Amino acid sequence: MKQTIPRQLMLFAAAGLLLTVWAFPVLWGVLTSFKTERDVLAYPPVWIFTPTLDNYRAVLSGADSILPNLWSSIVVSSTATLLTMLFSVPAAYAIARLKYPGKQTSGFYVLVTQMLPPVGLVIPYYLVLQRIGGLDTYSGLILIFLTFSLPFAIWLMVSYFEDIPLEMEEAALLDRAGRLRALWYVILPQVRGGIAVTTIFVFLNSWNEFMFSVLLGGNRVRPVTVAMFNFISVEQTQWARLAAAAIVAMAPVIIIGLAAQRHIVKGLTVGAVKGGGRR
C-alpha cells in the first residue's frame, strides 16, 4: 500500500504536467482573445487586464467577419463526411467480408494512400481542378477532401467489420435475408460505434484541413482555417483578433469532441483486442 500511493502520485503528477502542456496554448489563446492589442504586445506579459469583447465583435460581425468562412467549412466538411461514410461503409464491408479477385491489392492500395505525403499531391490536384474548372468551388474542394478521407475511413472501418463474428451473418444468410439485408439489419447495428467514431474523425480532419484549402480554394470558397490569415499582414499581425477567430473556429470541434469523447477513445483503441471476427 505504501508503494502504491507514491506511484499514484507520480502518475497524477505526470498526467497533470501533460495536461498543462496541452492546455496552456489553448488557455493562452482564450486570454489573448479578450485583450486589447496593447495588452497583447505588452512586455512583460499582462496577466491582470480589463476583458473586452471587441475582438469577438470584429470577427463575428465586423468587416473581417469569419461567419461566411464558417459556413464554407460547414458545407465542405459536412458534405465530404457524408459522402465519405456513404462510400466507405460498403467498401470496408467488402474488403473485410467478401472474397473477390484483387482483394489483397485493394486493401494494400487503401493502406498505401495513407503513406503518401499530402504536399506531393498539391500540384497534381491543382492541375486537375484547373483543367475541369474546379478551383475555388465547393465541389472541387469536396472532391479533394474525399481523396484522403475515404481511404482513411475504409482503413478504420475494416477493423470494426472484422470484429463481427461471421456466424451472425451466416445465420442471416441461411434465413434467406440476402447480403444487403444482412448488412443492414445484422452487421451495421453491431458496428454503429465504429461508424460514429469514423464519422467524427473524418469530420475533424476535414474541418482542420489547411494546406489543400488555402491552395485550392479562393475568394468564393475560403474555409475558416484559411480565413484566420486575414489578420496577418506584412505590416502587422492582429494577435487579439486572430486569437478570437481561432477560438470561434475551435468551438464546433471542441463541442463535438466533448460530446463524442467515449467514441473517440474507443476508436483510438480499436484493434488492440481482436474479437471473434476473421477474414
Answer yes or no: is 6 within a domain. Answer: no
- For residue 204, pLDDT beyond 60: yes
Answer yes or no: is 274 within a domain. Answer: no
In angstroms, the first-to-last Cα distance of the chain is 46
Q: Residue 228 has what DSSP assignment?
A: G
Taking the CA atoms of residue 213, residue 224, residue 83 and residue 275 in that order, the dihedral angle to the nearest 10 degrees is 100
Answer yes or no: is 4 within a domain. Answer: no
Structure confidence at residue 214 (pLDDT): 92
Q: What is the pLDDT of residues 9-40, one digit of tens each?
A: 888 888 888 888 888 888 989 999 999 989 99
* Grid coordinates given for 183: 448488412
What percentage of the chain exceeds 70 in pLDDT? 93
The mean per-residue pLDDT over the stretch 111-116 comes to: 78
Distance CA(182)–CA(177), nearest Å, equals: 6
Q: What is the pLDDT of residues 133-170, one digit of tens each?
A: 999 999 999 999 999 899 989 988 888 888 888 778 77
The mean per-residue pLDDT over the stretch 61-65 comes to: 83
pTM: 0.83
List CB contacts of 182: < 8 A, sequence separation 6 or more. 169, 172, 173
Q: What are phi and psi of 165, to 5 degrees?
A: -60, 135
Say how many domains are in the chain: 1
Answer yes or no: is 52 within a domain. Answer: yes
Structure confidence at residue 181 (pLDDT): 81
* Grid coordinates given for 68: 461566411
Please, which pLDDT band fits residue 193 given cuts at 50, 70 and 90? confident
Residue 43 structural domain: 16-268
Q: Residue 101 has what DSSP assignment?
A: T
The segment with the largest mean pLDDT, out of 18-27, 51-60, 169-178, 190-199, is: 51-60
Give 232-249 as a DSSP string.
B-SS-B-HHHHHHHHHHH
Decide: 190 and 122 in contact? Cβ < 8 Å: no
Identity of residue 84: T
Q: Residue 186 has what DSSP assignment?
A: I
* Residue that wins the pLDDT comparison between 73 and 173: 73
Q: 60: domain CATH number?
A: 1.10.3720.10
Answer yes or no: is 223 within a domain. Answer: yes
Answer yes or no: is 273 within a domain. Answer: no
Structure confidence at residue 276 (pLDDT): 42
Answer yes or no: is 7 within a domain. Answer: no
Answer yes or no: is 1 within a domain. Answer: no
What 3-state DSSP class applies to 78?
A: helix
